[in-house]
Amino acid sequence: MSWFKKTTVLFAAMALALGQAAFASSKTINPVGIATVSKFYRDQYAAALFHHEGVSDPEILINSGKPKRMVMVIRARQIPARNFRMDWGLAVEINHQKHSDYKQVSLAGGGLEEFLAFPTLLPDEKLYKNDVLTVELIRSKKSGNLNTLIKLNDKYVVAKKGARLFRVLLRCWLGKKPPSEDFKNHILGKQKNPKFDQLLPLFNRAKPSV
């Protein structure tokens, strides 16, 4: 069994231990907003945010403690592991200089390193077009506690107790230094992305249900 398969089996067991989401339903719904992240005028990934809160205030969404889902669909031909780590590492750093969450998730076992490093466990250390990365904040039916689960396609790659890791990653989209102001407005649903209707089928195929 490959190292990646062993790791995803381990995280799947951890995800099961953390409890099933009280977040999912049988219906697939549309995202609140869809945005894109580009480099050199080429889309790297399309992003969508799913929640039921009915608000667009970034701080409320980050800190509310209610179930949410971030979904990213890769649009570039490929994204090497080193690029993934560099881009997300920088986004985390510039958005969390004064937030205690960053210190906690940066500690060994806090979850941030596992998130930044998981692409290095892939067979050729790359994400490919149409790969789907999902970051969920769920509430365990068993314990009632919040947990963070991260999947690549249908494989769990990170499973952590608590909401800190989710808040850190969501702040990369909704914080003071988002990928762009257009991205932030589109993902919050404050402005409709001109590509919304074109990109929506990508997320329907990903079947995010909340």
Domain boundaries defined on the chain: 3-206
Structure tokens belonging to residue 193: 């992305």
pLDDT digits (tens, 9 = 90+) for 96-117: 877 788 888 988 888 999 999 9
Average pLDDT, the chain: 85
Instruction: Please state the pTM of the whole predicted model.
Output: 0.85
Amino acid at 162: G
CA–CA separation, 188 vs 136, rounded Å? 17
CA distance 42 to 142: 44
Who has greater pLDDT, 15 or 123? 123
Tens digit of pLDDT for each residue in 22-80? 444 434 467 999 999 998 889 999 999 999 888 899 999 999 989 999 999 999 999 99
CATH number attached to the domain at 3-206: 3.50.70.10
